[in-house]
Structure 1
Amino acid sequence: MDIYPQDQHDDMSKEMIVVFTSSIPAALPLARFQTLMWIFCGIATAAVMSRIYVRFATGGRLMVNDYFVVLALPILFTGAGLLQSTLLGIYSYESLTGTNSHQMHGASVRDGTFTKRFIAALDMAWIAIYCVKFAFIASFKFHKPPYAYVSAHLTRYYWFIVGGCVTTFILTLVGQAVVCPGAAENCPFLDSFGQTVLGMLITGLDIMTDIFVVSIPALVIQMAHMTKSQTAIYATFRCLSVFMIAIGISRLVIQYDAQNHRINYIWSAFWLFMEAAIALIMASISSWRRMLFDPKR
């Protein structure tokens, strides 16, 4: 007979996880993970506010690309909140990787509630990242006249990139459901081979789409007749996606645990949310270009 009520069991389990995770060193301590995540979320908030200020200060109004950036901010915070509620479980799970207790503890973090929250947190980060991609794409305006008539080749290439980003975005979200349909009980999300392959695949696609996005301003610079200073300013602010490429490559390399042939979800989640926050920061910085191009406005 169980002599402890259910809520007391839950409290005891949480205390055991806290003690256990604090006694085992991690490459990225839990407190540092949480601190960095929320600091960068705060910086992203300030950056988005500055983008809105610049837009109105230069006599403009919010455009499609601005709405993508603004939409990404609450999505990022929602994902960070969901991830915050699952971090103890992730840390305790990763700390047991390669031990005899790993398989037994894996069952405790594979319940439907935990899996749904963790998958939802990752999905929110991915949605925020792709909102920023679409913001960069929309800022080039090849989807409407007169820009669409500048170059037929560039316009076709632009729509190819739009289609590629939409496809990879759908694949990223749907892929989680394929590996773990319905986030059901005993879903092997954290330690399945399919999730490892999917995680590496969608990270690779993320990097590829960022490269495509950066290639658009590179082609525009080749076609445009700008001064050297204008070219430097345009290239600097329009090619800020290179930061997301660098973070994506870092995540691709660091998240894979070669010893156990699986994804380390501490590093994977950390770099994913760093990419989402920094993407918002870079997208907001790109709006400052107008002040440099036309400082009189």
Structure 2
Amino acid sequence: MTLTHTSTGVLEFESLRDLLRGYAGSPLGMGRIQHLAPSLDRDWIEQQQQLTNEIREFRRVGGRFEFAGLLDISKLVDEACIAGAALETTQIRDLIMVVDRAAEWREIVMTPPAAMKNWSAVPNISEGIADFTAFLREFRNKIQPDGTLEDRASPELARIRREIDKQKRTIQESLRGYLRRLAEGGTLQDELVTIRGERFVIPVKVEQKRRVPGVVHGSSSSGQTVFVEPIETIEQNNDLVRLLDEEQAEVHRILLEMTRRIGENAEAIRNAADVLAELELQFAKARFAEDYSCVPVSLSPARDAASGAD
């Protein structure tokens, strides 16, 4: 049961909620606070007070937990449940961060500080976090912080990337030799190798481009330089493009598999995210209570309306 809109306004609840939101460190927790509403449910109120008291005690004895960076992943989990869907690497990274943080909290609850051996409300809600040990092992060290897939994401990806590096070196060596020959005749604009459209090219003075047999891949903004792919490196560049296509295909395959595994664990992931959101609400309330020297309220027994019917 919730309060009426008028009662909520009298209590200035929205202002209080906005103030509390400032104590949250992640979009996940802020979202939970945003949907917070006052209630007349005595059991819920008492549970909330117990949770906040236990988190305050956890903090008092030095307990800490980091919520920063946690996003609301509900839509990502829903997308992962679609057959054939492939989440982006950054999306998987954000989702796995939530699962990993939930696993950290589960470990804290299983081995709490000595002073917290008797807490009850927090372990009760934390039961919603499953054991993600095996699941997280599948994702460990496979996505870099910037969202790039690590070479170790699969043996095939590692092999392809080694071939790509090798092919790039081969092309660069061929072009450096070509550059040395052209430099003697003053044909070059600059003695460097650059890339246009995933193909290695060399800059050539526009008036000298006929002296360099090959394919032109655009020009500089000034129009004084054209970028030429010498005919002798066309096949080498073709091989490089083929390898890059293989890399993208393998990346897509890996993302499909990762997304499928997320979909298979969708319910457990949703539950874990929900627990973290509730925990951040409690941590926010605990910090708020510390700053404003709040104390738990004592609830009076509910008045029986029938008792005053005389």
Q: TM-score, normalised on structure 1?
A: 0.25
**TM-score, normalisation: structure 2:** 0.25
Task: Decide which structure has greater strand share.
Answer: 2
Q: Which has the larger radius of gyration?
A: 2
> Per residue, is there more helix in 1 or in 2?
1
